[in-house]
Amino acid sequence: MTLTVLRIGPACTIQDQGRIGYLDQGLSRSGAADILALHEGAALLDQSPELAALEMAGMGGEFEATQSTYFALTGAPMQASIDGSPVPWNASHQIEAGQRLVIGAALRGSYGYLHLGGGIDVPEFLGSRSTHLTAKIGRVVQQDDMLNSPKGAGRAGWKLRPKDRFSGGLLHVVASFQTSLFDQSTLDRFAATSFTRGARANRMGMQLESHGPGFAAKGQLNILSEIITPGDIQMTGTGNPFILLPECQTTGGYPRIATVLPCDIPRAAQTPAGAEIRFEFVTLEEAATLQARHSADLIRLNSQIEPLVRNPHDIPDLLSYQLIDGMISATD
């Protein structure tokens, strides 16, 4: 046993990088909405990014340790403390048996992540530990659940400085199979429009809103259902775009005006309600370059972590530490 869940937000689930290869059987990938956060947690704890973590949608919870445990916090920043003493986000820490970790609401962004040393051990299904609520695989984490991990795995005392992706911004897109159904003036207006994330959002997708008329394709009502993937931008009958996310359906008949690059999906998923989003069309060659740069950045994460320097005011047992070691001399 590692952490006991004393209280928990309403939409917290266990996620890893998801299930690949089941679209033809009607099962979408699921997995973390912000996969970059999984890589960040892995770098902080010196472990594999394939391990499962707790994804917290907007709100964390309270947890009590049953054994000494290493953990890390990444993704959307949330207030966090151990026994009332604040602990920094984007860092790895150690919690002792009997201590309580409290994680509050998101300060920016949408999804925060709690990583345990060695990952969170839940049963695998089709090669993944990810919860997929729409497919009824797993369930939300509840009070009195146990978050189990191997004893002694991980490390503490490290931090990183992630790029800001928690306030919306520019998303790079490529043309989809149905982009040609939109006339050029509509595509130009789409690329020139500033959207805001609406209130309708979950792990299936997020609605965008804008001023002015909606966006419609030619022959929109006659489109047959086709395979769709996370990142596709569907235009509903009202002309509002929806960015599809990890638990999206696998087929759909709404026209897709474009597809968000995988490297930009974390920014899309982390956009809070009311924040601004803009789109920029890129060629397939440009998309490949951006995606390759993103993959290289993931590899470099391990070299970007730094020692976590703690504020003495936040160390309740400061006097128990040996602060001076070795011999010193006033003259040598």
Mean pLDDT for back-to-back runs of 10 residues, the chain (332 residues) = 92 95 88 97 97 97 96 97 96 97 96 97 94 93 95 92 93 93 92 93 93 78 76 87 92 88 97 95 97 96 89 60 51 54
Query: How remote is the C-alpha of 28 from its chain's centroid?
Result: 17
Predicted pLDDT of residue 26: 87
Handedness of CA 270, 149, 158, 302 (dihedral sign): negative
Contact status, residue 241 vs residue 214, Cβ threshold 8 Å: no
Predicted pLDDT of residue 297: 95
In 3D space, the residue among 79, 82, 93 whose CA is nearest the CA of residue 44 turns out to be 93
Predicted pLDDT of residue 69: 95
Predicted pLDDT of residue 215: 83
Tokens of residue 180, six digits: 């040609």
Predicted pLDDT of residue 312: 66
In sequence order, what are the residues at sequence separation of 6 or more whose Cβ sits closer than 8 angstroms to the Cβ of residue 85? 314, 315, 316
Predicted pLDDT of residue 262: 96
Q: What is the dihedral of CA 325, 329, 330, 332, to 10 degrees?
A: -130
Predicted pLDDT of residue 290: 97
State the SS3 of 120-131: CCCCCECCECCC
For the chain, what are the domain ranges? Answer: 3-161+313-319, 169-282
Predicted pLDDT of residue 319: 60
Each as own residue / partner, the long-range contacts of residues 326-330 (CB below 8 Å, 24 or more positions apart, any chain) are none
Distances (CA, A) of 219 to 37, 181, 253, 303: 40, 8, 11, 51
Predicted pLDDT of residue 129: 96
Residue 248 main-chain phi, psi, to 5 deg: -65, 160
Tokens of residue 258, six digits: 């474009």
CA distance 258 to 243: 9
Contact status, residue 66 vs residue 4, Cβ threshold 8 Å: yes
Q: Does CATH place domain 169-282 in 3.40.1390.10?
A: no
